[in-house]
Structure 1
Amino acid sequence: MTADINNPAPKPVVLHIGDPILYNEAIYARFCELYTVIRPSTEERQRPEFIKALKEKRWGDFNAIFRPYWSTGGEMGKWDAELISCLPQGVRVFASAGAGYDWADVDELANHGIIYCNSAAACTESVADFALFGILSTFRQLTWCTTAASDPTSFTRCHLDATALSRNPRGHVLGVIGLGNIGQAIAAKAFAAFKMRILYYDVKRKSSEVEAEVHAAFVPTLQDLVRQSDCVIVATPASPDGKVLVNAELLAHFKKGARLINVARGNLVDEESLADAIDSGHIKSAMLDVHTFEPKVNERLKNRREVMLTCHNAGGTVDTHIGFERLSMENIEAVLSRAEMPNSAVNAHLFSLDI
């Protein structure tokens, strides 16, 4: 059958949720040539209206969902069975900014034939750099050191007393929970900068080549990892079973005087149990960039010299946003234009090779 040049096949339709493109204008222009791009308004992205619009097929039978930023496009809340069941049958890919995906039921998306892609690769460098700051802040009491200069008395007290609580990271054991792209970059940078000994835990062991490249050794259980580590970094985008990862039970297995850093997702750490562990002296210091109830942070962790709190800034650079835009568009093109599995497909293991 020959193609009808007078009635060409309609272009695939992409639902662009969130703010307009800011950086990759040329790539987006080509993207809009390949696909019909529809942007729901802010009002239409509120959950009740969003579900109503899906049910009435306001945007037709679109084929992909494009969310280029983590700070916008999520107004409809959790992508759960209620919301996913309203999507058109023709949706094949959901490409989003950010590394974490606890707000999206990626298994349920797969049940509907939808490949979910995150953009962890785009924020790898930024998050890994920030993690080095976390290591320094917990080993060198940087919260105390950076806030005590406000008056001569606190300055003098910090100058005299912070030394006894501070250590060089060099030679200490860094335990990395999750050796994906970000975890690998953290391990490599920590080894290069501080010559730390790197251990890691992941649900699936990495190849010997990856382990050698980032100087990391595998530990088979989380309990074994934290028992051996002087500093533990949470770098996994989600808990394997959807539950809190660092809870009171796991904290009890930490070395006395260990340090904890979370640059992943706020709900992976039980903040009340962490506060208890700091109060008891079992955990010496902590750095949290992400928080369970953002933008609110745990009251017991505020204004403590042992705790560095930042505002979900680890991946927050212009470089990251440029990468989020580009990678999300590339992931959609891989599926819609080339029928390929994207490199950053989180639920790829739930699909056959033939997509």
Structure 2
Amino acid sequence: MSASTPTPLDAGLAPPKPATASTAGSTPAPASSAQEKPTVLHLGDDIRWNHDLYKELGNRFRIERSYTLGRDEFKKALRERRWGDFVAMYRPFWNTGGEMGNWDLELISLLPKSCKIYASAGAGFDWVDTKTMAEHGIIYCNSASACTESVADAAIVLILSTYRAIVWSFLAARSGDVSQFRNANQNVAAVTHNPNGSILGIIGLGKIGYRIAQKATAAFEMRIWYHDVVRFEEREQSIGARWCETLEELLQNADCVLLATPFSGSVLLSTAQFAHFKRGARLVNIARGKLIDEDALVRALDDGVVSSAGLDVHADEPNVNAKLAQRDNVMVLSHTAGASVESHVGFERLGMENLMGFLGGGEALTPVNLQWLRKE
């Protein structure tokens, strides 16, 4: 478990305590120094768990709040310099503080030149033009390490569902129909398998992909093959993984293909890629729905090229493709793989640690766009 991954002790057993105006709003400072503090813009809801750390943030910076603003109102506020020359933005929750929509050039160009860092909850950042942010001198930090454990656990559930026909059995039992129950009871065994010894082909061996690999090898003795834009030799050695230089090599050999890579703006798996799949292979996606051409996946399932799938994410969220959702060999979730109290505790904390580390003269912990910032 990484240093930024929350523990049960961090979360506590009691319900979260709502932050009050004195702990969550613009934190007052001594009269002589209040106006001298750099400003941090807090987007969205109040802090729920890390109150002591938030108090420390407020002691070091002036905290301004945007709460919930739609895109037009947020743009208007930026034009009016409602929050002044803030140096950072902080978004502690993945389902609030993003009401303004995609962070594209239109929004980024309205930010004050003083803004140097944006620390946000969540692992994915396909809604942020991180390159444009870097070109404007802003570091973007995600919080993937805070939800790694939760996403990896959910991935294991989806992997098992594709091997053991969990959806078929579950739907048959839930239907209350005797014939459906008997059909599943008598026939599931003929088409399901244990994952032990099979090849799990992971596309993207970052923090989350690597943690999934660790769990899959430790619990199910799966063999790990992976494809990535860079090679991770130390990780290979620790889990006995095999690197595939090309995506086609991985697809041709994997018994289960798992997507754990960021969305870079284009579909990764479509008809051409499904043609390389080992017939009857499984597919799991805990990354981003737009990585998969869902119509092509439906055809691959119809043709038996893909035998089953587990999808936490979808191409047109919150809409789920009905042709996939209604199948008894596809498990669909509501983009909740990383959703846990522990993840949210970690999101809050890691965001503040990124801000205080960077603004205190050190380095951000989880930047994702330094390659473009450095070029500038």
TM-score band by shorter chain is over 0.9
Structure 2 residue corresponding to 1:141, chosen from 165, 170, 173: 165
The question of whether the paired residues in 2 share the 8 Å contact of 1:61 and 1:90 is answered with yes
Aligned-residue offset at 1:8: 8.4
Contact residue 227 and residue 246 of structure 2 kept, 8 A: yes
Q: What per-residue deviation string (whole Å, max 9, x for no partner) do you get for residues 255-287 of structure 1?
A: 110100001111111111111110111110000
Aligned-partner SS, 1:39: strand
Equivalent pair of 2:45/2:67 in contact (CA under 8 Å): no
Question: Equivalent residue for 1:77?
Answer: 101
- CA drift of 1:245 comes to 1.2
CA contact (8 A) 1:92 1:335 kept: no
Deviation at residue 291 of structure 1 after TM alignment: 0.9
Secondary structure of the residue that 2:348 maps to in structure 1?
A: helix
Structure 2 letter corresponding to 1:41: Y
1:176 aligns with 2:202: yes
Q: Say whether 1:232 aligns with 2:257.
A: yes
CA 1:268 to 1:51, structure 2 compared with 1: closer, same or farther past 3 Å? same
2:302 is aligned with 1:279: yes
Distance 1:311-1:335 versus aligned 2 partners, 3 A rule: same
The 1-side partners of 2:318 and 2:66 are apart by 25
Q: Provide the secondary structure at the position in 1 that maps to 2:73.
A: helix
Q: In 2, are the aligned partners of 1:188 and 1:215 still within 8 Å (CA)? A: no
> Residue in 1 aligned with 2:4?
none
Match of 1:315 in 2: 338
Determine the structure 2 residue equivalent to 1:259: 282
Distance between the aligned counterparts of 1:141 and 1:6, measured in 2? 66
Deviation, 1:237, is 2.4
Query: How many residue pairs get matched?
Result: 344
Gaps of 5+ in 1: none
AA paired with 2:316? F
Task: Describe how 1:103-182 pairs up with structure 2 within 5 A.
Answer: 103-149=127-173, 150-182=176-208
Q: Matched residue of 1:168: which SS? A: coil
Any conservation in 2 of the 1:258–1:284 contact (CA below 8 Å)? yes
Give the alignment's Cα RMSD to 1 decimal. 1.7
Counterparts of 1:295 and 1:177, CA distance in 2: 24
Offset at 1:343? 2.5
The 3 A distance-change label for structure 1 pair 57 and 228 is same
The question of whether the paired residues in 2 share the 8 Å contact of 1:266 and 1:293 is answered with yes
The structure-2 alpha-carbon separation of the partners of 1:8 and 1:86, relative to structure 1 and needing over 3 Å to count, comes to closer
Q: TM-score, normalised by structure 1?
A: 0.94
Aligned partners of 1:124 and 1:115: how far apart in 2? 21
Deviations 1:60-96 (CA, angstroms, capped at 9, x unpaired): 1101010111111111111011110110001110101
Amino acid at match of 2:291: L
CA distance in 1: counterparts of 2:102 and 2:32, whole angstroms: 43
